[in-house]
Amino acid sequence: MTDHTRTALVTGASAGIGATFARVLAAEGLDLVLVARRKERLDDLAAELEEQHRVRCEVFSADLSDPSAPAAIMAFVAEKQLHIDVLINNAGLSGMDAFADTEWESLAGEIQVMVTAPTQLAHLVVPGMKERRWGRIINLSSLAAFAPPGESLLYTGIKSYVLNMSQALDMELKPHGVHVTALCPGFTYSEFHDVMGSREAATSLPSLLWQQPEAVVREGWGAVNAGKPVCVPGVVNKVISHAMRPVPYRAQYAMGKTFNPFKH
């Protein structure tokens, strides 16, 4: 039992995996702070969840490519007198043009959204989680984190960072009751490919490679509660991830925890 209702902060909550996380967590009785750029969608989702599950939903419109966004989000949380017990770092995007042909502002925004912002948000919520001796953080990585680099794309490198960062944080925080999981989905039905302009190429792939967001979210939520630092949802994705990496991620985690020469 806890002395307050647990609250989850979900970024990129206006659609796809983020909105699905919001629905799953609301069904479990968690209050929510929903963050995305599209406030109208967040308002609609908040009204739906409050009516269906009688939970509290606060909405904060923010563009995570803005370096000031993480601090602004947490100032809003403090203003509402909430504690963040669950952090879902879901917001993401991917450039499609050649690195040399892309304006630095766009590349910097991609790094800010998927590297700096989730890392900073984790840093901001972890002290409270440690104090309360309970916390859950899910960082959205990707099956791409296990793949060879894609020409011109920062995406595989970014998602590899998220995978490794999540495991490093889990090693440190698990003794304090805080679990961190890198959720690494493959192709998932959402608006991601529409926004990135890759829908035509994506839909040409076999249906066997695709998952519904509900399946991804439920496996990821189960994994973080079970203390699994890496979750690759779906049997096909698990096979692909193991085929692309000679050393299984569980063995890498154990090696990284045991043989770290820089650990204090």
Catalytic residue positions? 155, 159
Cα(197)–Cα(191) distance, integer angstroms: 10
Cβ within 8 Å of residue 88, ≥6 positions away: 8, 9, 10, 11, 18, 21, 25, 138, 140
Nearest by Cα to 125 from 237, 35, 252, 220: 35
201 and 150 Cβ atoms separated by less than 8 Å: no
| Cβ atoms of 118 and 139 closer than 8 Å | yes
Crossing angle of helices 104-111 and 155-173, in 10° steps, is 30
Q: Which residue has the tokens 């990135």?
A: 196
